[in-house]
Amino acid sequence: MIETKDITRPTAALVEGLKHAGAAAASSTLSRMGIRNAHIVGPIARTPGKAIAGPALTLQFMPKREDLYGADEYADPEKQLHRHVLYHTQPGDIVVVDARGDMSSGVFGEMMLTYFQGKGGIGLVIDGCLRDFPNARTLDLGLWINGLTPNFHTQTNIMPFAVNEPVACGGVLVMPGDIIVADDDGAVVVPLALAAEVIAQSSQHHEWEAFSKERLMQGGDLKRYYPLSDAARPEYEAWVKAQAAKTS
Amino acid sequence: MIETKDITRPTAALVEGLKHAGAAAASSTLSRMGIRNAHIVGPIARTPGKAIAGPALTLQFMPKREDLYGADEYADPEKQLHRHVLYHTQPGDIVVVDARGDMSSGVFGEMMLTYFQGKGGIGLVIDGCLRDFPNARTLDLGLWINGLTPNFHTQTNIMPFAVNEPVACGGVLVMPGDIIVADDDGAVVVPLALAAEVIAQSSQHHEWEAFSKERLMQGGDLKRYYPLSDAARPEYEAWVKAQAAKTS
Amino acid sequence: MIETKDITRPTAALVEGLKHAGAAAASSTLSRMGIRNAHIVGPIARTPGKAIAGPALTLQFMPKREDLYGADEYADPEKQLHRHVLYHTQPGDIVVVDARGDMSSGVFGEMMLTYFQGKGGIGLVIDGCLRDFPNARTLDLGLWINGLTPNFHTQTNIMPFAVNEPVACGGVLVMPGDIIVADDDGAVVVPLALAAEVIAQSSQHHEWEAFSKERLMQGGDLKRYYPLSDAARPEYEAWVKAQAAKTS
Amino acid sequence: MIETKDITRPTAALVEGLKHAGAAAASSTLSRMGIRNAHIVGPIARTPGKAIAGPALTLQFMPKREDLYGADEYADPEKQLHRHVLYHTQPGDIVVVDARGDMSSGVFGEMMLTYFQGKGGIGLVIDGCLRDFPNARTLDLGLWINGLTPNFHTQTNIMPFAVNEPVACGGVLVMPGDIIVADDDGAVVVPLALAAEVIAQSSQHHEWEAFSKERLMQGGDLKRYYPLSDAARPEYEAWVKAQAAKTS
Amino acid sequence: MIETKDITRPTAALVEGLKHAGAAAASSTLSRMGIRNAHIVGPIARTPGKAIAGPALTLQFMPKREDLYGADEYADPEKQLHRHVLYHTQPGDIVVVDARGDMSSGVFGEMMLTYFQGKGGIGLVIDGCLRDFPNARTLDLGLWINGLTPNFHTQTNIMPFAVNEPVACGGVLVMPGDIIVADDDGAVVVPLALAAEVIAQSSQHHEWEAFSKERLMQGGDLKRYYPLSDAARPEYEAWVKAQAAKTS
Amino acid sequence: MIETKDITRPTAALVEGLKHAGAAAASSTLSRMGIRNAHIVGPIARTPGKAIAGPALTLQFMPKREDLYGADEYADPEKQLHRHVLYHTQPGDIVVVDARGDMSSGVFGEMMLTYFQGKGGIGLVIDGCLRDFPNARTLDLGLWINGLTPNFHTQTNIMPFAVNEPVACGGVLVMPGDIIVADDDGAVVVPLALAAEVIAQSSQHHEWEAFSKERLMQGGDLKRYYPLSDAARPEYEAWVKAQAAKTS
């Protein structure tokens, strides 16, 4: 019987903090911390407006080799590792798949995705395709994928090979248990050990942005308002007070 | 005067059967029958939610060669083969175009597409681009295309070359008269001679899926419900009876 | 202090004339005038239904070279040329960016785009990505872009290098002050000196199109109605009179 | 039994004239005659120094479809069309193959190439690969190919589909019987009907080139010697006389 | 201290048998045994004429992540896994590297390659680049690589990540200890368990090839001589006797 | 009349120092100095064994726009900027061309290259193609190019646009007057201001390499000899003395 490793899950505080920060702030903060690129390039938001964060369960595909893989999708399904990654699903989990950028194999279909959602899974990031979307479109999962195909997961060139091992997805290394932050900008990988620092740094410089945005929309001077200049700080402070007065 | 071949059209039963099956079932059934890849990779659904099936009229583009092609789009339009493929349109037809993946020539514009719809055409699969979409967007055609461009069909590198001859579209061979099945997953080619068998095989294993999907959404065990295990069969049969009772 | 050139803006008549023509007519007219390809291939309409025209402010990125560029996005922002291109914004302007097709650097985010809109800017054409879209999505700008990323503009391989100099965007040369016409088909560059002629030529052959479209939708003969044949001209003229009678 | 068309062969004068001109002169002359690109982009000279010209026998591959093609290379070889194109070989012929840019199928191996050479074939231009090169390397054929592979011709994604029909090779349309001119620069297609004119035009402006080259190598002024200026013509004429004196 | 696994080496008979067969025969035999593609597509023969076979030591690169990798190539070299794969070298070994197709990082330079040769290593297959070739060119190793670069192995986007684990190289899965067969056609992976059968099957149908090749070179009929027809068998047998007489 | 800028040339000492270092040492030293990638990726060594260094004259191509460029190569050649970059040639110069990776336009042919060599030019680095190689192959220039084509420089999609301005070549920014170091590994750009420091740093750690290489070739331990360990230093020093004794 196949046994695959589970992951260690982060605290709810880390997940919530990163979700609040969003992908853009997480990526730019990681960049300042020395992680040059945390963006998974390739998979794009298929479910516009969705914004999620959660730990990564990982699934790795490899080029298909017929001596190591049987062809029929229904014969002994328990040997198929794309099922096993889903067996680990806990509420809030995100599945990250290295499908090698393949555009003619669909990693999961309606039934598998339904099971994933039933177990509390919240989203998938796939360097490849999903299938069976006409049936799966009513599900409530966040999807960052390269595309769709009617072909099933091992129909052409790839086969599932490993679960919860390090994977390369969209040109980025993802370790099992790393935290994914994904929204319309795309999906970002936050190394688990850096998550707290990312939250701390990305929450610093936001207080004046609402003010600046209002002024810029009115035709205000970029040099004065973004970043907030010393010259504009009294104006900002007055605005803060006025806002407070309004809402009190 | 240019004469091009027409195609032999399939029975309505074949078309309806494949439309009912959908692209994903057609592709996976063909795979089990030995057709490794029936998915036209490249053209994606531009009209989400549309799901159609019908026989393929084919149009082939070739690299433009100026000694064989004049440049002006309005001079003697009857020499232009992209018109001729549409002349064969009968209700329910689908036009499949090998536009060589070209991203800077738009195969058809509003007027041509309007004519196609007026004759009963239902959709197009193009390994290339359409043009004039701001005007054409109100038409009611299913579109699987690589993209859009404002350029007309022979503006840069390609010229229409043959009608209702075998074409390669998105890495797949399409014979004139083959049946296209297309939905959000993409477009699939069903060889005419295999259509009946595809319908027969793809209609077999679906009865328990609604039940299984319901259980999986409730957090049910994948091993028990997908594929349906022997252990769960009594539960399934009880569910069938209960469903029948509800609807009677 | 950095000083960058401004552009000479076209007359309102030229801008309006080209906007009325649309991208498809502008491109096919330019083709007949000898400009083989005016379509910026790559950036696609992110804001479906938007149709704009206006003069091009240009921004050029180059491969990043660390001896010529410091890494921190907030240190002395006035050195960053992507700010300077926006300083030139006048109502109706469009920013065209050669971002070298880079998919992992986001040229502008919410604050910069807000400033641009506040100054009257109407759209952007970027051979690359935007970032911070979850915050920027409520803005009212037309966007033709290759994609989105959470990464900021110099995070990986490119750096802003020149403002209002000639740029290559999507395989097309754009001179500062050229007129961009963009809609769902994509973005087209109209050389300033050719704009009046494009308007003149593209406004000629449209009178009978509404009539022809109506007939084609009814199943009319393509040879008779598109282009309008001499045989159908009397029918067309009768239709024109009938239309006039209806609306008078 | 399979019957495929033969081609009409050009006169020896046309072939010799084009061979003498060479690929660069043929291509630039065709460009001035309105054929924008005659260069087959992709296949590169595998046999440096070889320079040949001859009529094109054409072989077209299509994406493999298992219902139309059996897998075993030795079962009924007479059904395999890559054999049939070689059956037409006459001395001086060149085989042009549209192998769809495929890098994992080898169109011909040692035995087939040996047969081709035995019949007088002089070269191949393949938008794809050859196989079995360790055995074939001693043959005396000119080869313009994308690469090599150990895989045989139908091992992965393509199958031979048509012989002596129009093909697209390296982005260029080749009609059966067109004349190929190939050397280290690559392979050029000369449409048969234009061959005489290409020879006439490409033989005009060469007389002074040997003189100019000598002067340029000595550090002469480009404006004076290339193209030959009126000012340098007396010097050139003196050089011609001196040359004549030397060789008489 | 880092410890990495060694591989189990095949018998000399298997290695010799496969070397004798060559890459083309190994690949086509594997194809008939059900392994669709055994060719590592991408790396090409840099050392023409070299033909080798041997067991695969494997090295896997992953996208660089700065929190998991330090930048300086000389600081604690023992942490660098590209050294560790070479520590396992025994005479006859071949190193296979998944360098992710990266064209701007050179996996090994002169010193590392010298060490590998000193230990008896015979060749490398790299889905990426070597560096320092002006110094390394006098070494006597077979090289199948994508290209060369002056950059060192972790200079841009990748870092060594695992030794003697399964890798994907040029679109093919390579298990540590599989046997590589490489010559001018490219490099082929023979799964260890299938090696004996590959040798058995690929040695069958060769006896008549020398005869057939001779006849084909003389202009013989392809149908008669390749594959050898029953009609030509007496002629072949006479030839065999004549050959034997000559050499006795 | 067209006037283009010349460059400032480096001292002979800088050029010689970098040539002595070679491309690999220059690139790795620059990396340690903070220049992540100095390698021009794309152009490969066409003249194996050539190793040169010299200042960069730069030529930039842009996408062709017919309103800005006439088509005939011989009409008023003095308007063609690819001539002007060569007018600046001084002995030891290297021409760097951003030809946009174009594979169907040949930047220079035999006559232009002859002029360049006649003026003392030593090599070219082109992100694109040369033409007319059968005639040019006897020249003595170092060539780093993407490929060859028979087409002339403006035949298809590009036109020369600027001379001795900053260019992007193979993904790297090259400033006019930067020093190019090129050999079989490829071409590297050394920013002029960093050249002295590159020479200083790259000449440090080489003394023991000849010794280490000898030991490694004899099967020596990598940990002991590369980099040279403290334990092996006495052995190295003895070797140095023995070498000195031999050569005295």
Amino acid occupying residue C208: W
Per-residue pLDDT tens digits for E18-38: 999 999 999 999 999 999 999
Q: What is the 3-state secondary structure (H, E, C) of chain F?
A: CCCCCCCCCCCHHHHHHHHHHHHHHHHHHHHHCCCCCCECCCCEECCCCCCEEEEEEEEEEEECCCCCCCCCCCCCHHHCHHHHHHHCCCCCCEEEEECCCCCCCECCCHHHHHHHHHCCCCEEEEEEEECCHHHHCCCCCEEEEEEECCCCCCCCCEEEEEECCCEEECCEEECCCCEEEEECCEEEEECHHHHHHHHHHHCCCCCCHHHHHHHHHCCCCHHHHCCECHHHHHHHHHHHHHHHHHHC
Considering only the beta carbons, identify the residue of E62, E66, E172 that sits closest to A34: E66
Contact present, F88 and F57 (Cβ < 8 Å): yes
List b or e across E95-127, with b for residues whose CB sees 16 or more CB atoms inside 10 angstroms.
bbbbbbebbbbbbbbbbbbbbbbbbebbbbbbb
Question: What pLDDT, in 10s, does the model give residues F1-27?
Answer: 789 999 999 999 999 999 999 999 999
Are A40 and A186 in contact, with CB atoms under 8 Å apart?
yes
- Are the beta carbons of D41 and F149 separated by less than 8 Å? yes
Residues of C with a Cβ under 8 Å from any A Cβ are 72-74, 77-78, 83, 86-87, 103-104, 106, 109-112, 114-115, 117-120, 131-135, 137, 147-152, 155-156
Please answer yes or no on whether F115 and D26 come within 8 Å at the CB atom.
Answer: no
DSSP letter for each residue of A167-210: EEETTEEE-TTPEEEEETTEEEEE-GGGHHHHHHHHTSTTTTHH
pLDDT at residue D99, as a whole number: 98
Distance CA C44, CA C40 (A): 9
Residue C101: Cβ within 10 Å count: 15
Please determine, for residue D70, whether its predicted confidence score (pLDDT) is greater than 80: no
* Residue B137, phi then psi, degrees to nearest 5: -70, -15
Q: Describe chain A by its helix, strand, coil percentages, rounded to 5.
A: 35, 25, 40
Sign of CA pseudo-dihedral C181, C187, C192, C196? negative
| DSSP assignment letter at E8 | P
pLDDT interval class at E205 (50, 70, 90): low
Chain F nearest-CA residue for D48: F134
Residue from B108, B145, B151, B163 to probe the interface with C (highest C Cβ count within 10 Å):
B151
Chain E residues whose C-beta is within 8 A of a chain F C-beta are: 72-74, 77-78, 83, 86-87, 103-104, 106, 109-112, 114-115, 117-120, 131-135, 137, 147-152, 155-156
Averaged pLDDT in 10-residue chunks for chain B of 248 residues: 94 98 96 96 97 98 91 69 97 98 97 98 98 94 98 95 98 98 98 97 82 97 95 96 87
What CA–CA distance (Å, rounded) separates D65 from F40?
A: 42
Interchain CB contacts (distance < 8 Å): B and C: 98
Evaluate the omega torsion of the peptide bond into residue A227 and state whether it is cis, within 30 degrees of 0: yes
Give the ipTM: 0.94
Q: What does the pLDDT read at residue E165?
A: 98
How far apart are alpha carbons E105 and E156 in whole angstroms? Answer: 6
Best of B28, B44, B179, B230 to disrupt the A interface by mutation (most A CBs within 10 Å)? B28
The tens digit of pLDDT for each residue in D206-228 reads: 689 999 999 999 999 999 999 99
Phi, psi of C190 (to 5 degrees): -105, 115
pLDDT at D73: 47
Q: Is the peptide bond before E227 cis (omega within 30 degrees of 0)?
A: yes
- Taking only the tens place, the pLDDT of each residue in A123-155 is 999 999 999 999 999 999 999 999 999 999 999
| Cα-based angle C23, C26, C28 (whole degrees, multiple of 5) | 105
F63 and C100: CB-CB below 8 Å? Answer: no
Q: How far is D75 from chain F (nearest CA, A)?
A: 40
CB nearest D104 (choices: E32, E39, E183): E39
Coil, helix or strand at residue D16:
helix
pLDDT for D142: 98
Nearest-Cα distance to chain B for A124, in Å, is 17
Binary contact (F168, C34; C-beta < 8 A): no
Length of chain B in terms of residues written: 248
**Interchain proximity F166–C166, CB inside 8 Å:** no
Burial call A106-121: b when 16+ CB within 10 Å, e when fewer: bbbbbbbbbbbbbbeb
Q: How far apart are CA C95 and CA C121, in angstroms?
A: 8
Residue of A nearest to C139 (CA): A217
Query: 3-class SS at B173?
Result: strand
Closest listed residue to residue D201, CA positions, set F74, A75, F169, A80? F74
- Residue B134 is nearest to which of C184, C217, C223, comparing CB atoms? C184
The confidence score (pLDDT) of residue C74 equals: 52
pLDDT class of E248 with cuts at 50, 70, 90: confident
Task: With beta carbons under 8 A apart, name residues in chain B contacting D67.
Answer: 34-35, 191, 193-194
pLDDT at residue C73 tops 50: no
Which amino acid is residue C20, in one-letter code?
H
Give the closest-approach CA distance of E58 to chain F in angstroms: 18
Query: What's the pLDDT band for D125 if we cut at 50, 70, 90?
Result: very high
DSSP 8-state class, residue A58: E
A35: DSSP letter: -
**Cα–Cα distance for residue pair D15/D90, rounded to 1 Å:** 14
Question: Rounded to an integer, what distance in angstroms lies between the CA atom of residue E142 and that of residue E124?
Answer: 6
**CA–CA separation, E30 vs E197, rounded Å?**
9
Question: How would DSSP label each residue in E45-104?
Answer: ESSTT--EEEEEEEEEEEE--TTT--S-SSSSGGG-HHHHHHHT--TT-EEEEE-TT-SS
Residues F144 and E147: their CA atoms lie apart, in Å, by 13
Q: Tell me, what's the pLDDT at D74?
A: 53
C8, burial (CB in 10 Å: exposed 0-12, middle 13-18, buried 19+): exposed
CA nearest to B38, candidates B192, B159, B146:
B192
Q: Which residues of F touch C (CB under 8 A)?
A: 34-36, 62-68, 100, 157, 161, 166, 168, 171-173, 191, 193-194
Distance of CA D247 to the CA centre of its chain: 35
pLDDT at D242 (0 to 100):
94
Contacts of residue E47 in chain F, CB cutoff 8 Å? none
**CA-to-CA distance for B31 and B29, rounded, in angstroms?**
5
Q: Which residues, 6+ apart, have CB-to-CB distance to A62 below 8 Å?
A: A100, A158, A159, A161, A162, E166, E168, E173
Is the pLDDT reported for residue D170 higher than 90?
Answer: yes
A164: left (phi over 0), alpha (psi -120 to 50) or beta: left
What's the 3-state SS for E198-233?
Answer: HHHHHCCCCCCHHHHHHHHHCCCCHHHHCCECCCCH
| β-pair partners for B181 | B53, B188
Long-range CB contact pairs, A200-207, < 8 A, 24+: A201/A29, A201/A32, A201/A33, A202/A21, A202/A25, A202/A26, A202/A28, A202/A29, A203/A17, A203/A20, A203/A21, A205/C74
Mutate which: E44, E151, E159, vs F, most F CBs within 10 A? E151
* Euclidean distance between CA atoms B136 and B138, whole angstroms: 6
pLDDT at F84 over 60: yes
Provide the pLDDT confidence category of residue F78 given band limits of 50, 70 and 90: confident
Closest CA to F101 of F146, F142, F56, F57: F146
Residue D50 CB neighbour total at 10 angstroms: 18
Q: What would the two tokens of residue B200 be? A: 């027969």
DSSP D142-183: EEEEEEE-SS-TTSSSEEEEEESS-EEETTEEE-TTPEEEEE
Instruction: Please give the Cα distance from B45 to B184 (Å, whole number).
Output: 5
Band (pLDDT 50/70/90 cuts) for residue F73 is: very low
What are the distances in angstroms from CA D63 to CA B61, D211, E116, F212, F230?
Answer: 16, 52, 42, 53, 61
* Cβ contacts of C28 within 8 Å, gap of 6 or more: B73, B150, B151, B152, B155, C202
E-chain CB neighbours of A172 within 8 Å are 63, 65
Torsion of CA A170, A172, A176, A180, to 10 degrees: -80
Distance from chain centroid for Cα D234: 39
* F210/chain D closest Cα distance in angstroms: 36
**pLDDT (tens place) for every residue of chain A, 248 residues total:** 789 999 999 999 999 999 999 999 999 999 999 999 999 999 999 999 999 999 999 999 999 999 998 655 456 788 899 999 999 999 999 999 999 999 999 999 999 999 999 999 999 999 999 999 999 999 999 999 999 999 999 999 999 999 999 999 999 999 999 999 999 999 999 999 999 999 999 876 668 999 999 999 999 999 999 999 999 999 999 999 999 998 77
DSSP code of residue B10: P
